[in-house]
Every structure is written in structure tokens, then in C-alpha cells.
Amino acid sequence: MKENYNVVTLKGTPLILLGEMVSEGKIAPDFTATDNTGKEVRLSDFKGKHIIITSFPSINTPVCATQARRFNIKASSLGDDIVVLGISRDSQEDLHKFCAAEGIKSVVTLSDRKYGDFGERYGFLVKDKDILARGTVIVDKDGEIIYAEYVPEITDEPLYEKALEALENHLLHNKFTLKPLPYAKNALAPYISAETIDFHYGKHLQTYINNLNNLLDGSPLKGKPLKEIILHSEGAMFNNAAQVFNHEFYFETLSPTPKTMPQGALMEAIEERWDNFENFKKEFSAAAISLFGSGWTWLAKDKEGVLHIIKSSNAETPLTAGYTPLMTIDVWEHAYYIDYRNRRAEYIDRIWNLLDWKTVEERYAGL
């Protein structure tokens, strides 16, 4: 069996790891272990889920107990498509006793004692000691290893936060999620009501996100950043991806405590193009009011840094023409119908009270 030196120590004494160590980007080898009832469990039983495998020398030491507990707490908050496997060479009886005493429910505790399969195939088996080394391996739902940590000193704790951060980033890249709003849902009243936020953000945007995730399943664009998906898609994929971008951009432009006027370089650029801010507002509002049907009105800058007011229909976004969007107003009826019924002009007139020019300035500066 392969021997790996200089990877881990036990209280400073070097240990030798046996087997094939794994690394990110590789396909996770399958293995068989037994659960705390003695039943055979294979890694492949959890196919389709994100799997956190946390390996420890023995459950009956304080650090190992902490490790199981920490992942247990986190696992219960991560959702249904994530499973945590805690594995050691403890006997199933010991694991069973420990889990019952500790209330460990969200971690599937496994024993590598009978087969030694995990230790060998993942390089966690410690030579001349009947233990596994400590560490964490995360396998994504396609069976690829996205994180692998062999804790250098076996008495230290694993990097819980780093492991979970890796998983979270991976999840975010592969699946879009509704970002929390940077304000309470009733904070934009009286201009935009909590009920509008419930529908516009909570239902319409959520639906675009769900649709996009469904369309990305099995697509070569899965895992790509949102902007790249927008630039390389058409039809339903484009519509949903662009609507996710447009809405996130819109909700992030709004603030209950906005900076009401631009300053500095942005203000100078606006004055250069439209003489003064009031004039710009008038032209922007006129563009938004006159947009036929559903769509968006944008302030954007081109590659030379020149500002433009752009009208876009449906899901269209200035990104596809190479503009940098700076500010937008959503003029789909669903953005205002609850609060203003059919009075789009009134909605546009009042939403200026929520547009945060500090955010727009930052976008203009490329921050």
C-alpha cells in the first residue's frame, strides 16, 4: 500500500498515512463502511447529494466529539441535499453509544473498522495505529471532490469554517439562490409596500431563480457565473438568467435611506450629458413612462465611459450590448401594480425617493 510521509503528526511525532490521498477536482472513490447498527453503507448510496465526509481518530476523545458536534449543528441547517458522514475506526457499538448520548442525528456516523475501505482509498489510514487521520473531504453531487483537508496535527481541529465556505461557494456557483435583501421588506414603504416586496421579490424573482436552476440542469452553462450565462444563452435560459440579474440589480439599487443625489465624477458625467440632474431625471422618467409593455429603463455607461439612458424590453439587459449598467427602474406591471395599479408614472415619480446614488456612484467607479 502507498505510504505518505510528512502529511500529519501526532503531538509532533510524524505519522505515515497509508493509501491514496485524494485532492480537489478528482472523482471521489466509492467505499463501503458500516453504520452504527452494523449495516453496510456505501458512499454511492448518497449519490445526488453533496457529501461532507469528516474523518477522525476516535469518537471518544474531546476533539473528535467536538468535530462530530460542530458538523452535526451545521448539517441540520444546510438543507436536504447535504449529508454529513462522520467516519472513524471506532466499533459500531462505540459509535452507537456516543451518538445516543450526544444526540448526534444529522451526522451519519460510520465505522471503517470492518472494511478499512475509506482509510485506504482516501489515504486516511495511519500506519501502525488502529486509527484514521483527521480531516474533511467534500464531494459534490456529481461525485467530484471539491475540498480535501488532512489536518496536519492530528490533535488539532479541522478547519470547519473553511470547509463549509468551500461548500457554500460551490453551491452558490452551481445553483442560484435568492439573496437576502439588504433591508426589511416593509422598509421601502410608503413608496413600495411589503406586499409588493412579498410578490415581486419573494415570488417573481424566486420563480426566475427556480426556472434558471432547472434550465441549467444538464446544460454546459451550469456552474458558470450569471453574467456569462446571460451572454451565452438565448430563449428561456436567457430570459430567466437576465431577469435574475436585472432584479438583483434593481433591488440592490433601492434603499430606505438612499443618497438622493449623485456627486463627484458621476455627477459631472451626468451634467456633461444632460446639463443638470433635474434634466436627467426628466428624460429618464419620460423613457420609463413611454416604454411599451414590460421592460426596464437603465442608466448605463459605454466602453468610453459615456452615459446613456437605455430602454430594454422584457428581460433584455444592457450587458449584452457591452454596457455597464449603473441604475435601473423595473417597469414591468408586477413592480407597481399592487401599490399604484395602472399608474406607472406615479410609481416612477415616487421611486426616485428610494434610488441610492451611493450605490450608483460605486458602480460608475467600477467598485
Q: How far is Cα 309 from Cα 326, in angstroms, rounded to an integer? A: 10
Q: How far is Cα 86 from Cα 320, in angstroms, rounded to an integer? A: 47
Please identify, using beta-carbon distances, which residue of 91 and 211 lies nearer to Mn ion. Answer: 211
Alpha helix ranges (H) inside 34-159: 62-78, 92-102, 117-121
- # residues near Mn ion by CB under 5 A: 3
Q: Name the helix (H) or strand (E) containing 296.
A: strand 295-301
Please identify, using beta-carbon distances, which residue of 107 and 327 lies nearer to Mn ion. Answer: 327
Please identify, using beta-carbon distances, which residue of 42 and 343 lies nearer to Mn ion. Answer: 343
Q: Tell me if 120 sits within 8 A of 21, measured CB to CB.
A: no
What would you report as the CA-atom Rg of the chain, rounded to the nearest whole angstrom? Answer: 27
Tell me how far, at minimum, the Cβ of 309 lies from Mn ion, in Å.
Answer: 19
Interface with Mn ion, residue 330, by CB under 5 A: yes
Query: How crowded is residue 144: how many other Cβ atoms within 10 Å of its Cβ?
Result: 14
Interface with Mn ion, residue 117, by CB under 5 A: no
Tell me how far, at minimum, the Cβ of 78 lies from Mn ion, in Å.
Answer: 30
Query: How crowded is residue 41: how many other Cβ atoms within 10 Å of its Cβ?
Result: 18
Among 105-113, 123-131, 335-343, 344-352, which window interacts with Mn ion (CB under 5 A)? 335-343
- Stretch 287-326: interaction string toward Mn ion, x if CB under 5 A: ----------------------------------------
Residue in the shown chain whose Cβ atom is closest to Mn ion: 330
Tell me how far, at minimum, the Cβ of 335 lies from Mn ion, in Å.
Answer: 5
Tell me how far, at minimum, the Cβ of 334 lies from Mn ion, in Å.
Answer: 5
The answer to whether the peptide bond before residue 190 is cis (omega within 30 degrees of 0) is: yes
Among 133-141, 188-196, 261-269, 334-342, which window interacts with Mn ion (CB under 5 A)? 334-342
Please identify, using beta-carbon distances, which residue of 118 and 336 lies nearer to Mn ion. Answer: 336
Q: Tell me if 315 sits within 8 A of 233, measured CB to CB.
A: no
Please identify, using beta-carbon distances, which residue of 309 and 335 lies nearer to Mn ion. Answer: 335
Q: Tell me if 294 sits within 8 A of 313, measured CB to CB.
A: yes
Q: How far is Cα 225 from Cα 176, in angstroms, rounded to an integer? A: 10
Interface with Mn ion, residue 245, by CB under 5 A: no
- The interface with Mn ion within residues 168-197 (CB under 5 A) comprises none
Instruction: Determine the straight-line distance between the first and last CA of the chain, rounded to whole angstroms.
Output: 52
Please identify, using beta-carbon distances, which residue of 70 and 200 lies nearer to Mn ion. Answer: 200
Tell me how far, at minimum, the Cβ of 320 lies from Mn ion, in Å.
Answer: 18
Please identify, using beta-carbon distances, which residue of 140 and 330 lies nearer to Mn ion. Answer: 330
DSSP-based helix, strand, coil % in the chain, nearest 5: 40, 20, 40
Alpha helix ranges (H) inside 84-181: 92-102, 117-121, 160-174
Tell me how far, at minimum, the Cβ of 236 lies from Mn ion, in Å.
Answer: 17
Crossing angle for the helix pair 206-216 and 235-253, to the nearest 10 degrees = 140
Q: Look at the block and give the residue holding cell 454511492.
A: 44
Tell me how far, at minimum, the Cβ of 237 lies from Mn ion, in Å.
Answer: 18
Please identify, using beta-carbon distances, which residue of 294 and 324 lies nearer to Mn ion. Answer: 294
Tell me how far, at minimum, the Cβ of 333 lies from Mn ion, in Å.
Answer: 9
Tell me how far, at minimum, the Cβ of 125 lies from Mn ion, in Å.
Answer: 55
Could you give the 3-state DSSP secondary structure of residue 136?
Answer: strand
Please identify, using beta-carbon distances, which residue of 201 and 323 lies nearer to Mn ion. Answer: 201
Q: Name the helix (H) or strand (E) containing 51.
A: strand 50-55
Query: In the set 124, 332, 340, 364, which binds Mn ion (CB under 5 A)?
Result: 332
Query: How crowded is residue 42: how many other Cβ atoms within 10 Å of its Cβ?
Result: 12
Among 17-25, 232-240, 263-271, 331-339, which window interacts with Mn ion (CB under 5 A)? 331-339
Per CB under 5 A, residues contacting Mn ion are 330, 332, 335
